Structure 1
């Protein structure tokens, strides 16, 4: 495989952060998503709490799992 042709490394979703993702923050907006729908933000260890707080403050956060592990709803 040539450089640039493979999947990109998963990085934190915090603006300006380029650290490797360690967590998946699962969320949805009940005003526009069905209850079972899950959107995903990726987080490094440093920004996990900040991103969770952001989502929780807006009542959007649903779950946090280690990056690469299935969510509880997927048979974890």
Structure 2
């Protein structure tokens, strides 16, 4: 089970050097290291969603991409 993202801190993209607001949560796990139900989260801005997701997907780690909490990508 994944721990919730901090509500009191602004969400920032996980891509190295990027300080843009995160709009997406890339939920993943490494099946060789983690239980099947465990999820780790990388945050992504719109620009880095594809590259971060591609990195995880190429290794078979990406499980889902969802709007980040508090993101304008969430449908109201």
- The interval holding the TM-score normalised by the smaller chain is 0.7 to 0.9
Stretches (4+) displaced over 3 A = none
SS of alignment partner, residue 54 of structure 2: helix
How many Å separate the matches in 1 of 2:22 and 2:48? 10
Gap runs ≥5 in structure 2: 1-6, 71-76
Q: Which stretches in structure 1 are left out of the alignment for 5+ residues?
A: 1-5, 70-76
Give the greater-gyration-radius structure (CA): 1
Q: How many residue pairs get matched? A: 64
The answer to whether 1:31 aligns with 2:32 is yes
Q: 1:41-63, CA deviations, whole angstroms, 9 ceiling, x for partnerless residues?
A: 00000000000000001110000
Please state how far the C-alpha of 1:68 moved relative to its aligned partner: 1.2
Match of 1:15 in 2: 16
* Residue aligned with 1:29, SS: coil
Deviations 1:17-42 (A, max 9, x none): 00000000000000010000000000
**Structure-2-length-normalised TM-score:** 0.80
